[in-house]
Amino acid sequence: MNATSTASGTRTIGVRLDPLDVLFFRDGRPFTQASRAQSGLPLPQTLAGALRTHLLRAAGCDFGRLAERLRAKATFEQAVTEVCQAGWIARLELRGPWLCREVDGKLEVLIPMPANVRRVKQAAETQAIAPAAGQWVRLDPLAPAHELPGWKPLLDDMRPLWLKARAHTERELAYLRPAGLEAYLAGDVPAEDMAVRPAELYGFDHRTGIAIQPDELTTEEGLIYAIGLLALQSGVGFYAEVDLPPEAPAGVFGEETVLDFGGEGRKVRVCPVERFAWPAPPAPRDGRVLLLLTTPGVFAERWRPKLPEGLRLVAAAVNGYESFSGWDLALGGPKPARFAVPAGSVYFLESVNGQAIGSLLAESDEDRRLGWGCVLQGVWDYV
């Protein structure tokens, strides 16, 4: 295992999660009788909940007492410290999960295709030089010298994303391999062999059932439901990174651990692995940097993150929202629904004073600890 330590004593380890069966991850929509639900991919809070629960059990935590302390308005760290003297569990920080697979004995972490990379659906017949149908292209901000009639930006001075060639494009559903990720962050268009399609990584196991009357344990006539469970392909798993506080015991993740992950009681095997070598950020071009979300981000302004002073938002490529909820241990009920910008969203920035950019766009300490808003830094040019 490749673990690193900081001056503060924090240790960072990489872990891999391999499914022991199909998995199920719900979004924020209710799932009731006579309905259909399909698993998505796990969100950061799913990973955090699974690892925290495992560590709390290992520390001998009484979950009933923990819930009582939380209802009494104790912070999570205070409650864990009082109940099982393991307050460090509340301070560990996570990043991920990301899909991963092993290729030629080396771990590949896979990142959703950036939202500004598109596939040409149909090229304009009137253009002599145009991208061919099926080719990948990259949209970047239109230069300020070019005005676009009718363009109404969401924020003052924002620019539209543009392609010089006239063509109809569509969203590309794929995951970038490390070489493709490095090429994209350097300002290039990844080649097709630098990405993998979702079908190469996962599929869905569709099942049907019928609702049961809880008092009599008899079937409810006509209330048939359907569920689609996530089935990862052979050799495909999830990768994550964990920052452990100095007081965390050594060997907190042994050679192999089995824990619950997601719904329906499904389990994964967790093993420490060598940390993935993320691409180094390229040097900014005249202060122009882009941020690629590798995990979903939760922002007060919905689609727009809160940026440090000295950074100007020039453009954004965001593919909608993901809704999610969760279970409130203190209240014994669901948490309010929240909305996240999906991984693969891209923010094009200009730095006016060389402002440094971190690896997270989380807007609260708890979201940061859970791993929302992980970003990688790249470069871009005006079109």
Nearest to 226 by CA among 244, 206, 203: 206
Q: State the pLDDT at residue 22.
A: 94
Residue 16 parent element (H or E): strand 11-19
Nearest to 314 by CA among 142, 185, 139: 142
Q: Contact at 8 Å (CB) between 364 and 172?
A: no
pLDDT at 254 over 90: no
What's the CA gap between 14 and 271, in Å, rounded? 9
Q: State the pLDDT at residue 6.
A: 61
What residues form DSSP beta bridges with 315?
A: 348
What's the CA gap between 112 and 38, in Å, rounded? 19
191-234 pLDDT tens trace: 999 999 999 999 999 888 776 766 776 766 667 777 889 999 99
What is the overall mean pLDDT for the chain? 88
Rg (CA), the chain: 23
What is the domain partition of the chain in residue ranges? 4-108+199-273, 288-378
pLDDT at 61 over 70: yes
- Residue 278 CA to its chain's centroid (Å): 15
Task: List C-alpha distances in Å: 90 to 12, 41, 55, 70.
Answer: 16, 24, 10, 13
pLDDT at 122 over 80: no
Nearest to 228 by CA among 7, 20, 19, 24: 24
345-383 pLDDT tens trace: 999 999 876 666 778 899 999 999 999 999 999 999 999
pLDDT at 4 over 80: no
SS3 at position 264: coil
User: Would you tell me how many other CB atoms lie within 10 Å of the CB of residue 129?
Assistant: 7
Structure tokens at 49: 């909940």
Domain 288-378 sits in CATH at 2.60.40.4350
Nearest to 322 by CA among 112, 175, 181: 112
What's the CA gap between 70 and 42, in Å, rounded? 26
**What percent of the chain is modeled with pLDDT above 70?**
89
pLDDT at 124 over 70: no
Structure tokens at 85: 């003297």
Q: State the pLDDT at residue 190.
A: 95
What's the CA gap between 318 and 114, in Å, rounded? 9
The DSSP result for 154-198, as a single string, is SSTT---EE-SS-EEEEE---EE-HHHHHHHHTTPPPPGGGEE-G
Q: Contact at 8 Å (CB) between 361 and 291?
A: yes
Structure tokens at 29: 């929509």
Nearest to 321 by CA among 1, 43, 122: 43
Q: State the pLDDT at residue 32.
A: 58
pLDDT band per the 50, 70, 90 thresholds, residue 34:
low
Q: State the pLDDT at residue 20.
A: 94
Mean pLDDT within 152-170: 89
* Burial classification of residue 110, based on how many CB atoms lie within 10 Å of its CB (0-12 exposed, 13-18 middle, 19 or more buried): buried
167-203 pLDDT tens trace: 888 998 999 999 999 999 999 999 999 999 999 999 9
103-112 pLDDT tens trace: 988 999 999 9
Nearest to 92 by CA among 136, 47, 130: 47
What's the CA gap between 120 and 138, in Å, rounded? 10
What's the CA gap between 12 and 273, in Å, rounded? 11
- Which range (24-28, 122-126, 322-326) has the least confidence? 122-126
Q: Which of 20-24, 164-168, 330-334, 352-356 has the highest mean pLDDT?
A: 20-24
